[in-house]
Amino acid sequence: MIISHKHKFIFIKTVKTAGTSIEHYLSQFCGEEDVLTPLFPRVEPHKAQHHKGLWNPLPELSKVPTKEKVSIVWDLMKAKKFRNHSSAMNVKHRISAATWNSYYKFCVDRNPWDKSLSQYHMRRKRQGDTMTFDQYLKYGKLCHNAPKYIDHRGNLMVDRVLKFESLEQHLGEVFKALSIPFENGLNVRAKGAYRADRRPYQEVHIGTKNHLAQVFSREIAMGHYEF
């Protein structure tokens, strides 16, 4: 997650949408006072900064569901003012209203059938190549990104949700508006080595198409995705 006071933008990092690659790219244009959360694993020359600190949690605690209050208190105890995947709601309550209202806010989302496969291969690799896709669906925390960029009433909290499928084009449009150079694209795939099976997702989701359509119905509707 990045808050750039230099370029007046807030980047909300979602799951399995090239977020680490985008952070890596943007970090080279950030200023000394900008907020950059840590990358795991770290990618040079990105350097985390200004992501720790204390804040008044009461406004945030009063507006989130009970299940989210524990994580807010935990963040406060650890002085983790901004996390790698902080939601737009978290960020809004931890910065000034003037900053939130005046900065350009954006994130990226992705076709749910495709990003589920990407997340599965990453987790499978990290757990010793033993997890099946059925086990991932049953026990894994699926990559629901909408809660990162909508509020609890379903209202969009960012200015634009870029599509992963048109990432270079959409980033080019946003970066041009922010006066950030983007002539040669991102030129980095920070976490692109996990997925060895490159078959189209339509060939893989033989028995899981409808299940994922139901699970991700909100994001499919918001992004106008089709199988």
pLDDT tens sequence across 35-78:
999 998 787 889 999 999 999 999 999 988 888 899 999 999 99
* Nearest Cα to Cα of residue 86 among 160, 192, 10, 184: 10
Give the pLDDT of residue 222.
95
* Nearest Cα to Cα of residue 44 among 167, 188, 194: 188
The helix/strand count (H/E) of the chain reads as 12, 5
Q: Where are the alpha helices (DSSP H) in the chain?
A: 19-27, 58-61, 66-77, 88-94, 97-102, 112-126, 133-139, 146-149, 167-177, 201-204, 209-215, 217-223
**pLDDT tens figures, 214-227:** 999 999 999 999 99
Task: Give the separation between CA 13 and CA 97, rounded to whole angstroms.
Answer: 20
Instruction: State CA 100 to chain mean position distance.
Output: 18
Give the pLDDT of residue 190.
62
Give the pLDDT of residue 192.
59
Which residues in the chain come in under a pLDDT of 50?
none
Task: Give the separation between CA 208 and CA 226, rounded to whole angstroms.
Answer: 14
Give the pLDDT of residue 141.
86
| Both structure tokens of 17 | 């949408």
pTM recorded for the entire structure: 0.93
- What element of type H or E holds 161? strand 160-163
